[in-house]
Chains A and B, each alone.
Chain A
Amino acid sequence: MTSTAMNAAAGTAPALEMHEVTKVYGEGENAITALASATISIGSNEMVALVGPSGSGKTTLLSIAGGLLAPTSGQVIVGGRDISHASPTELTEVRRNTVGFVFQSVNLVPFLTARENLLLVDELRGSRGKQSKARADRLLDELGLSKRLHNLPSQLSGGERQRVAIGRALMNEPALVLFDEPTSALDTQLGEQVMELIQSEVKGRGTAAIIITHDSRMTHWCDRTVRILDGRLQSDELATAG
């Protein structure tokens, strides 16, 4: 079953469900509770902004949702699959097939062109061919990079690189895309443009997304905003989609 088929079959089933998820770093006196009994549900086509001060646990929540980090306790279900007790190999598979990441520091493979950076995602999944190429080209076209296919990251501007990273996150047709401060390295105007792109890409595909941002001006692109403070999710408010 492809992830698209799964989304369709799941209908309105949530892309992410977290129940009482706690994450404690370290042990004994040095223990830090980065996430405390977090419970959240994100619909299959929902775009959620996650805001909170530095050190409040945003990245921790995102890492657990994306199978990068195992929770200390609680239940995590991504794309209908319970990963609370998944092995490292199973988590690799979840990251490969079910989620997409856009990191804060743009993290492209420096010796691969824009197009190859996208194709890499499919190569890791063991597929390579016309379909992958067509998909990569379409994504890059939508992201306004059709003239940049064969450029290396060092030949691209910061905004262009971030757009390539967005394309890469969408390459595996994920149920959930996770953005960690995707606009923090960009100026306001570029940030707005990138958010607009994220919105149209995510919404156009019926994919769910969580976007961490420090910048309250960016939250209006999302369906709702979730606040986090000292590892606790604060409120759950609806915002008007821009």
Chain B
Amino acid sequence: MRLAWLELRRRPGKFSVAVVTLTVLAALLLFLAGLLDGLFLGSTGALRAQRADVFVYSSTSRDSFLRSTITPDTRAAVEAVQGVDAVGGLSVTLLGAVVPGETELADVAVIGYELQPSGIPRPSGPGQAWADERLKGFGVGQGDTLLVGPAKTPITVVGFVADSNFQLQGGLWVQTDTWRQVQNQNRPDAPSAAGDVQVLLVQASPGQDAALLADRIDASTRVTSSLTKAEAENSLPGTKEQRTTFNSILATTYMVVVVIVALFFALLTLERTPLYGMLKAIGASSRQLFVGVILQAIIIATVAFAIGGGLVAALSAAAPPKLPLQVQASRIFTSYVILAVCAVIGSLLSLRRVSRIDPAQAIGTAQ
């Protein structure tokens, strides 16, 4: 309604408290959501990049890469299962690495791989790695030789790849043998025998259902525990817990939005009672007045979201590379929709008050 719009334009001061409060909340929401997504994406990049349908762990590993070992015998057994098209090992060691010219250690995930993931070239030569771009934030450049782990195993960066990290550690993608060398030099407590890998990735033949194939593999080998790709992403330590924690914080923040908007419009309605009484007396319906209230709630939420989004964009540009903040377009869209819906719900709480205002109060001696 035009009246509501003109009021916003001509009396912006009246709405500034609500806009400022919602801006802070919108920025908080986007920041938290960006962290959640950043944590998830930064943890799972190495897995999401895999062109595999099933992840085969040893059954004693409780679905952890670091505890899992697949021997050549098991590998052969998996390959023999009907519906398995191709297999390849994937192994990971998390370590700190010295970057030439830098005092701070870089967090790296040395990843030995066989099947070519999407976005990552085939393995380079021995002692060579494709590094994740995240490591540029630690001062890593092309051609640098990193000294990995307490044993200072040298690995030379031959190029960069994107979104390929594991557990928020910068991915260093190497041949399986190079990985084994890193593992055995730096983690003598958990040596890897020649031919062993941690996890076996399986590409299913066309038309195979991944979950059914995983069950078939486990039934056939009896020593494996297989997950679909999505299950593997979610089974990474902390992933589920992070999501639950962040989602409950986000939900609480949205509730605060509802409360703030409800309070704001309750106060505004109180202040507007004489105005609404007069408007009803000259023929406005409660519905017309209410459309105006909802419109104002949506506009306030939109302005606040735009400013809050700008703040988070500036923050993420200025944030240190270690901060796993990733604000995705789809997340921005859903955050905006939920915020607007919360604002509308908040404003709906003054519906009763508005509809109860008696037009008769507009007339008479009451000043």
Interface of A with B (CB < 8 Å)?
54, 59, 62-63, 66, 68-69, 89, 92-93, 95-97, 101, 103-105, 107, 109-112, 116, 120-121, 123-125, 168, 172, 178, 180-181
**B11, B284, B363: which contacts A103 (Cβ < 8 A)?**
B363
Alpha-carbon separation in the docked complex, A157 to B44 (Å): 70
Assuming the A-B contacts A92-B285, A111-B10, are A104 and B365 also in contact, with contact meaning beta carbons closer than 8 angstroms in the complex?
yes
- Complex: how many Å from CA A102 to CA B278? 10
Nearest CB in chain B: distance from A81 CB, A:
15
* Chain B residues near A (Cβ < 8 Å): 1-3, 6-7, 10-11, 274-275, 278-285, 288, 359-360, 362-367
Give the interface SS of chain A, mostly helix, strand, loop or mixed: mixed
A124/B364 in contact, CB under 8 A: no
Q: List 9 A-B contacts (CB under 8 A).
A: A68-B363, A92-B359, A95-B359, A96-B282, A109-B3, A109-B278, A111-B6, A112-B6, A124-B279
Known: A123-B3, A124-B288. A95 touches B281 (CB 8 A): yes
Closest to A178 in B: B363
Docked-complex contact B363 and A116, CB < 8 angstroms: no
On whether the beta carbons of B285 and A103 are closer than 8 Å, the reply is no
B363 touches A63 (CB 8 A): yes
A107 touches B274 (CB 8 A): yes
Number of A-B contacts (CB under 8 A): 80
Are A107 and B365 in contact, CB atoms less than 8 angstroms apart? no
Shortest Cβ distance from B285 into A: residue: A92
Return chain A residues, CB-CB under 8 Å to B288. Answer: 124
Counting from the closest, the 10 A-B pairs by CB-CB distance are A96-B283, A59-B364, A107-B278, A68-B360, A111-B10, A95-B283, A69-B360, A124-B283, A124-B284, A105-B367
A69 to B6, CA, bound (A): 30
- The residue that B359 contacts in the complex, of A68, A104, A111, A124, with Cβ under 8 A, is A68
- For the complex, what is the distance from the CA of A125 to the CA of B279, rounded to whole Å? 12
Name the B residues within 8 Å of A54 (CB-CB). 365
B282 touches A168 (CB 8 A): yes
CA distance in complex: A103, B365 (Å): 9
- For the complex, what is the distance from the CA of A168 to the CA of B282, rounded to whole Å? 9
Cβ A92 vs Cβ B364 within 8 A: no
Which residues does chain B contribute within 8 Å of A92, judged by CB atoms?
280, 283-285, 359
Q: Which residues of A contact B364 (CB under 8 A)?
A: 59, 63, 103-104, 180
Bound state CA distance, A112 and B8, in angstroms?
A: 12
Q: Which of B283, B284, B288, B366 has the most CB of A within 10 A?
A: B283
Closest B residue to A64 by CB, please name it. Answer: B360
- Please give, as numbers and ranges, the residues of chain B lying within 8 Å of A120 by CB-CB distance: 3, 282
Q: Nearest chain-B residue to A171 (Cβ)?
A: B282
Instruction: List chain B residues, Cβ under 8 A from A172.
Output: 283
> How many whole Å from B347's CB to the nearest CB in chain A?
19
Cβ–Cβ contact B285 & A89, under 8 A: yes
Contacts of A66 in B (CB 8 A): 281, 363
Query: Which of A62, A92, A120, A125 has most B Cβ within 10 Å?
Result: A92
Query: 19 new A-B pairs (CB below 8 Å) besides A103-B362, A110-B275?
Result: A59-B365, A62-B363, A66-B363, A92-B284, A93-B283, A95-B280, A95-B281, A101-B281, A103-B278, A103-B364, A109-B3, A109-B275, A109-B279, A111-B6, A116-B6, A121-B282, A123-B3, A124-B282, A172-B283
A125 close to B367 (CB less than 8 A): no
Most chain A CB within a 10 A radius of its CB, from B280, B284, B363, B366 = B363
A116 to B1, CA, bound (A): 13
Q: How far is the CB of B46 from chain A (nearest CB, A)?
A: 58
- Name the residue on A nearest B10 (C-beta): A111
B15 CB, min distance to chain A CBs, angstroms: 12
